């Protein structure tokens, strides 16, 4: 095969360019392959691709995590109580208190759920526990008034209602409609609260 002289002169240059391209392209290919490999450690765990909890592990026993779980179950309990699924409400309030045994609102609503199921002893026990935590909680005394009203003890119910108001209970509108205190509304003692209801109408 005859190669023209003008191409023969270019041959060393072409070979040189080819050699340069080969040297440059091979390390680039090697580096690309390396970048595709996951980072591995001596123990064989590919930390670059596998998410582990070793570095950012959540401590479910921490007070903050327990508090969050308590709030979750409290909110779930409220949803069930609203649709009159009292049994599920009770389960969730008890779970809320399992996670946070000083969750005052959970005690209040658990006692209400027990009253709805006419589980009076359990309601009283729940209220007594809350009383040991915060004896001045206004809803504690309001629920005591509901408890006594449902048992027909109007005098104690009125006394508890007075304590609720003294400790900051302000939902006067509910005093007109709450079926739990129907017995209190029928008694003459309830009249002393009438001026509060008239003020807020």
pLDDT digits (tens, 9 = 90+) for 139-174: 999 999 999 999 999 999 999 998 998 999 988 889
Is residue 145 one of the residues assigned to a domain?
yes
pLDDT value of residue 197 = 56
Q: How many domains does the chain have?
A: 1
**Do the beta carbons of residue 79 and residue 108 sit within 8 Å?**
no
List of residues 6+ apart from 165 with CB closer than 8 A: 138, 193, 196
pLDDT tens profile 19-33: 555 555 444 343 333
Q: What is the CATH number of the domain that holds 99?
A: 1.25.40.10
Q: Is residue 20 part of a domain?
A: no
Would 37 be classed as within a structural domain?
no
The reply to whether 136 falls in a domain is yes
User: Is residue 51 pLDDT above 70, yes or no?
Assistant: no
CB atoms near residue 2 (< 10 Å): 4
In a domain, residue 49? The reply is no
Indicate whether 43 belongs to any domain. no
d(CA 160, CA 182): 15
For residue 14, is it within any domain? no
What are the two backbone dihedrals, phi and then psi, of residue 187, each rounded to the nearest 5 degrees? -85, 155
How many of the other CB atoms lie within 10 Å of CB of 56?
Answer: 7
| DSSP annotation string for 168-192 | T---TTHHHH-GGGHHHHHSGGGGG
In-domain check, residue 31: no
Domain that holds residue 155: 63-200
């Amino acid at each position: 095969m005859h190669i023209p002289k003008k191409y023969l002169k270019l041959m060393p240059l072409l070979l040189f360019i080819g050699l340069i391209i080969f040297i440059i392209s091979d390390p680039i290919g090697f580096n690309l392959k390396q970048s595709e490999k996951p980072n591995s450690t001596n123990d064989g765990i590919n930390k670059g691709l596998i998410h582990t909890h070793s570095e950012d592990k959540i401590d479910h026993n921490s007070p903050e995590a327990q508090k969050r779980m308590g709030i979750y179950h409290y909110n779930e309990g409220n949803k069930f109580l609203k649709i009159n699924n009292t049994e599920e409400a009770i389960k969730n309030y008890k779970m809320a208190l399992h996670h946070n045994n000083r969750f005052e609102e959970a005690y209040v609503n658990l006692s209400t759920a027990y009253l709805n199921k006419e589980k009076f002893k359990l309601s009283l026990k729940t209220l007594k526990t809350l009383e040991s935590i915060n004896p001045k909680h206004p809803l504690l005394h309001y629920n005591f008034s509901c408890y006594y009203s449902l048992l027909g003890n109007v005098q104690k119910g009125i006394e508890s209602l007075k304590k609720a108001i003294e400790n900051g209970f302000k939902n006067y509108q509910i005093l007109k409609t709450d079926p739990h205190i129907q017995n209190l509304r029928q008694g003459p003692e309830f009249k002393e609260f009438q001026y509060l209801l008239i003020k807020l109408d």
